[in-house]
Chain A
């Protein structure tokens, strides 16, 4: 759990972060969203004390971070950044093992942990363990970057636009993997991005910032349905709010169990946006819906999508 209380960061007269209070519950996936220069990265870096806060209090797991030596605090918190920053002179195993070695884990446990993490990211441990970072693609490097951040089983993971420099396809794959890993490990994640779609896809809470201030902190659906002000509305994209809502809601929410439809069924867990796209593609207003096992469970209708 992270508790941020009335935190201020100022450089001279300029307040980069202004009176921000924010609580991230244990196991939550909180996305800090905002334009460049809104203070979201600064706020993130104040949590692991890469940047000292000017005023206010930050507690991690109930402990005031000023009471913990900076290095020890950072070894408890995973940190992944856009430019990755793998150590180029170390192989993949040594990179991932950085924090466990600092924490003096036994070598056997470190080895097992590296294997486990490479497996988690679907990278063959025996193939990748001894490779150098320069031999890996950008997407693979960022997987190792996140694996390094997760290595010592941190209670908290800070991510600063980790997928911002990747191509759309790789980004999509890594977002899926991160969501899966978050579900599997239950690590609390604070994730910075300026990409509203990435935020909607990953977050269970979104904190949107503007000019150093926290504007709104809520669930993705609530953010779309009740944007706090014009800034949030503009940020989401006024005309597209309804489309974005379709992408966070699932087919199951608009399911008519009594109806049936023709053609290839759509999964009940798919986002409504996908259903709309299929309807347009097939020139129909009605799609059959199936459950995870593939059994028909009803249909979804165009009129329910646009209501």
Chain B
């Protein structure tokens, strides 16, 4: 469908039409925020026009109408740029409106009332973001513009947050009541992810390189790793409790280093195991994808084995290796949430606390940063890859 539109620019932009249409339907039909009398009761959805002041409402209406209109206009570079700009402004205005709405509602309903974000908010945020992405794709925008826009949008939302715009939203209320532990658990999440991926890389990359030259090892290694990957994460965390407790009891010195049946150690071990399969697999295909003729030529001109690895194989394998690193990081960011179940900490702590207390906003305090981390990692590594490919290409 996108190609058909691209082939005939006079017919308008159907992708934008769908996105803008969905946004309008959401705003009209679904709640923008929901108001609950206290933390544990479920909320009542409220539409945008019921909760926002008229200048903000007017702004959102005008920008939304502009996006819808842009979908019907003959397409061109100038219009794509305008669409991206309008969508970005609309995105920020929706964030602002949500904060202002919460502020007004909480002033009226009192301090125990909870104001959370509703369906229409999430839908319009997604639609405007996708509209920006779609415009950039049509513009064939380079990494600089993409990264710049992402940073600008994130920075604007951060400035609003720092200025207290979102303070009345229940997720921020949860954040404030967990402020110290949030920083700690976020850092712990980072340690779990980077620690396990770091260990996975230290073991997996040399192993993957080794497999490219050893036919005999290939079958057993991939067999073992595939088997590991099929064990459900909760089960693997659980399986490690018994042997590590025994080990800590038998060798007390290990206990001093934090080796225990529960906590960060078994979580790191399990996450490392999960990281190994993709790392080994991507490393193997990255290095076996290097043309053997180029290696022979490298030997022929008098490179040492080490020089061939660093100057020839590694640069040629880098794009695939980065793709693998992206997958592994995203996987570990998600899996590390489960690690909270065995007391390893991390953002999962809030998720499981929230589930236990039936407090959806606390669950969100754990999941939203997790999603953001995963998206940011994905975006960053994709950008790095495309910059590298641009420099590699003629």
Contact residues, B264-300 vs A (CB, 8 A): 291, 293-294, 296-300
Interface assignment of A50: CB less than 8 Å from any CB of chain B: yes
B393 contact set on A, CB distance < 8 A: 132
A57 to B298, CA, bound (A): 25
Tell me which residues across on chain B come within 8 A of A15, comparing CB atoms: none
A85, A134, A135: the one within 8 Å of B291 (CB): A85
Q: Which of A168-200 contact B (CB under 8 A)?
A: none
Contact B301 A75 (CB under 8 A): yes
Most chain B CB atoms below 10 A, which of A83, A87, A135: A87
Interface size on A, residues (CB 8 A): 25
| Min C-beta distance of B32 to chain A, whole Å | 51
Residue in A84, A85, A87 with the greatest tally of chain B CB atoms within 10 Å? A85
Choose one: A48, A85, A89; the contact of B316 (CB below 8 Å): A89
Question: What are the residues of chain B within 8 A of A284 when measuring CB–CB?
Answer: none
Q: What are the interface flags for B286-322 relative to A under an 8 Å C-beta threshold, 1 for contact and 0 otherwise?
A: 0000010110111111111000000010011000000
Pairwise interchain contact A85-B304, C-beta atoms closer than 8 A = no
Known contacts A72-B302, A74-B302; decide if A87 and B297 are in contact (CB<8 Å): yes
A131 at the interface (CB under 8 A from B): yes
Interface residues on B, range: 10 to 19
Chain A residues positioned under 8 Å from B296 (CB to CB): 50, 81, 85
**Closest residue on chain A to residue B300 by CB atoms:** A79
- Residues in A with CB closer than 8 Å to B298 are 85, 87
Residue of A75, A81, A131 near B302 (CB, 8 A) is: A75
Complex interface: chain A residues within 8 A of B315 (CB): 89
Cβ-based interface call for A86 (8 A): yes
Binary B-proximity of A75-101 (CB < 8 A = 1, otherwise 0): 100010101111111000000001100
Are the C-beta atoms of B297 and A85 separated by less than 8 Å? yes
Do A135 and B394 have beta carbons less than 8 Å apart? yes
Tell yes or no: B162 within 8 A of A by CB. Answer: no
Of A83, A86, A134, A149, which is within 8 A of B394 by CB? A134
User: Is B7's CB within 8 Å of the partner chain A?
Assistant: no
B392 beta carbon closer than 8 Å to chain A: yes
Complex contacts, B291 vs chain A, CB 8 Å: 85, 88
- Does A205 sit within 8 A of B, measured CB to CB? no
Q: Main secondary structure on chain B at its contact with chain A?
A: helix
Asked whether A148 is an interface residue with its Cβ less than 8 Å from the other chain, the reply is: yes
Q: Closest approach, in angstroms, between the C-beta of B388 and any C-beta of chain A?
A: 10
CA gap between A50 and B301 in the complex, in Å? 11
- Compute how far the CA of A134 lies from the CA of B291 in the bound complex, rounded to whole angstroms: 14
- The smallest C-beta distance from B393 to any residue of chain A, in angstroms, reads 8
CB nearest to A48 among chain B residues: B300
Selected from B301, B392, B394, the residue in CB contact (under 8 A) with A99 is: B301
B293 and A74 within 8 A (CB): no
Q: Is A291 positioned at the interface, with any CB of B under 8 Å from its CB?
A: no
Min CB distance B13 to A, Å, is 35
CB nearest to B391 among chain A residues: A89
| Distance A148 CA – B315 CA, assembled complex (angstroms) | 20
- State in angstroms the CA–CA spacing of A50 and B299 once bound together: 7
CA gap between A50 and B300 in the complex, in Å: 7
Q: Does A63 touch B at the CB level, under 8 Å? A: no
Which listed residue (A74, A86, A134) contacts B299, Cβ 8 A? A74
Which residues of A lie under 8 Å from residue B304 when comparing CB positions? 71
Chain A residues whose CB sits within 8 angstroms of the CB of B293 once the complex forms: 81, 83-85
Residues 297 to 352 of chain B near chain A (Cβ within 8 Å): 297-304, 312, 315-316
Contact pattern, A 213-234, Cβ under 8 Å of B = 1, otherwise 0: 0000000000000000000000
B394 and A79 within 8 A (CB): no
Q: Is A166 an interface residue (CB 8 A)?
A: no
B294: chain A residues at CB < 8 Å are 85-88
| A31-B298 Cα distance, complex, nearest whole Å | 24
Closest residue of A by beta carbon distance from B312: A87
In the complex the two chains form, what is the Cα distance from A84 to B296 in whole Å?
Answer: 10
- On chain A, the residues within 8 Å of B302 by CB distance are 71-75, 99, 102
| Complex contacts, A87 vs chain B, CB 8 Å | 294, 297-298, 312
Nearest CB in chain B: distance from A264 CB, A: 46
Q: Which of B301, B303, B394 has the most CB of A within 10 A?
A: B301
Query: Would you call B303 and A71 a contact (CB within 8 A)?
Result: yes
B300 touches A81 (CB 8 A): yes
Mask, A94-112, CB within 8 Å of B = 1, is 0000110010000000000
| Across-interface contacts of A135 in B (CB, < 8 A) | 394
The answer on a CB contact under 8 Å between B303 and A86 is no
B303 touches A102 (CB 8 A): yes
Whose C-beta in chain A lies nearest to the C-beta of B394? A132
Q: Shortest Cβ distance from B308 into chain A, in angstroms? A: 10
Interface residues of A in 138-163 (CB under 8 A from B): 148-149
- Apart from A85-B298, A86-B297, A102-B302, what 4 extra A-B contacts exist at CB < 8 Å? A86-B294, A87-B297, A132-B393, A149-B301
Interface of B with A (CB < 8 Å)?
291, 293-294, 296-304, 312, 315-316, 392-394
User: Which 10 pairs across A and B sit closest by C-beta, in order of nearness?
Assistant: A85-B297, A79-B300, A74-B302, A75-B302, A83-B293, A85-B293, A132-B394, A71-B302, A89-B315, A98-B301
22 CB-based A-B contacts, threshold 8 Å: A50-B296, A50-B299, A50-B300, A71-B304, A72-B302, A74-B301, A75-B302, A79-B300, A79-B301, A81-B297, A84-B293, A85-B291, A85-B293, A85-B298, A85-B300, A87-B312, A88-B291, A88-B294, A102-B303, A134-B394, A135-B394, A149-B301
